[in-house]
A and B are shown apart, each in its own frame.
Chain A
């Protein structure tokens, strides 16, 4: 099984620098409303759900299940997916370290940061738990 696709580096901006700094430390942050407790992803400084409350970034456990996926039949094939974190939010990601034919919706997966092209921060991918 080849795992040679090098993802392009994300481009942090001032509002997401904390998220990507945490990624370099191996931590996946999600947004939490300090008043209502609602969680969102990708994190942003203004809560997408509630007008009240501030957004704080809290670490996710890094476990979840595959919500959907597709094997992209590119020159270097890869598995793109939405993973539903155990905390609730669904996030776009890749499934790595698994034979493509073994990937299933509902499969339990765990976080594994992967390096990106150049000097960029690593990105959150998932592998079978």
Chain B
């Protein structure tokens, strides 16, 4: 059974904070939950499905359901594949709604790595020693930044991609972020600014990396019947795909991502092709993340991502594929070190015609949101959504 057209996103909310020194993580979850429900014109009494991932404190959904006060849950899911969990949750919510397991699904994400002083990208994290890969990887100092850097290094080797081409991705994000009053980095940067910023993990520079921010976001997914009774523009889930890519017993290939599979599945379900997409939210933990996923989603040929992103091709109103018009993780927000939910939120804004006027895509009736979770350098989840305005 396909979930095409079986569910709609009716509520979307991004917390305005980027530094929540005086709030708890649970509080942020509750605040974004109410924000998204308010946006939808619903209340927590309407919620019978709840979705959260590893950023939610407590065992799976239990503590958050208790803390937020969700008393009518008939369905729940705490699938955790890192930053793309929330795109998977949208698909899982659509499945649950299509199967009649719930009618109003709430998805929340929140965290405060900035206030907690987490060295997100640069500090190797030991992880659970029972995780079978840890003893074969942790001694060598894997950190998020150097894992993605090895992907970039390999991409440069195989395809001739350059640091200047990667820099264009940050440049495009900064052009969008200047219009977002909540964005952490609103200053427009140049290719030179990016390649002259200090190296963090060769060949990635400081400005190739996303921000570290506190905050969160939430989504509300319902059946089309309920969506039509609400006042907000109807955004329908037209296609969804998921995939896991890993080290494959020593056959790891750093030149592509799981988007190759997740994207193909989402496009097949939606019955559309990349050239039909008017706006794309692309997970942007690093510039290289965007470049590789654009190739793997089929927006350009494999190996041609560097040329594709150059010369402002991702800038709204300038290039062919407007991306991350909120400024993305690179400039706006990467709450809880997990950028998946903000990818969906900005796609919803675009489809509703509620993005900032300076970056709003004209006649935006078909959008894509794609996320990655975990590490492209080892193992990661991928989730793709094709969304349409009805």
Contact = CB atoms under 8 A, between A and B. Distances in A.
Given A5-B141, A11-B129, A42-B132, A71 B151 contact: no
Contact of A72 (B134, B153, B201, B249): B201
A59 interface: no
Most chain A CB within a 10 A radius of its CB, from B130, B143, B146? B146
Contacts of B200: 73
B139 A9 contact: yes
Nearest to A104: B157
Contact of A80 (B122, B142, B154): B142
Interface in A62-113: 67-74, 78, 80-82, 85, 88-94, 100, 105-106
Interface string B214-234: 000000000000000000000
B141 A78 contact: yes
B130 A7 contact: no
B164 interface: no
Interface residues of A, number: 44
A8 B126 contact: yes
Contacts of A94: 140-141
Interface stretch (B13-21, B61-69, B107-115, B250-258): B250-258
B250 A68 contact: no
B150 interface: yes
Contacts of B122: 72, 74
B248 interface: yes
Contacts of A72: 122, 141, 143, 145-146, 201
A27 to B, nearest CB: 15
A71 B157 contact: no
B141 A82 contact: no
> Which residue of B134, B138, B140, B254 has the most chain A CB atoms within 10 A of its CB atom?
B140
Contact of B202 (A13, A71, A123): A71
B58 interface: no
Given A78-B141, A123-B140, A91 B250 contact: yes
Interface string B117-143: 000001000100110111111111111
11 contacts: A5-B141, A10-B138, A13-B135, A48-B249, A68-B151, A69-B150, A72-B122, A78-B141, A82-B150, A90-B250, A94-B140
Interface of B: 122, 126, 129-130, 132-143, 145-146, 149-151, 153-154, 157, 198-204, 247-252, 254, 378
9 closest Cβ pairs, A-B complex: A89-B250, A40-B249, A70-B149, A41-B250, A48-B249, A42-B136, A10-B135, A7-B139, A68-B150
Given A67-B154, A67-B254, 11 more contacts: A5-B141, A8-B138, A40-B250, A68-B254, A70-B201, A70-B202, A72-B201, A73-B200, A73-B201, A94-B140, A123-B140
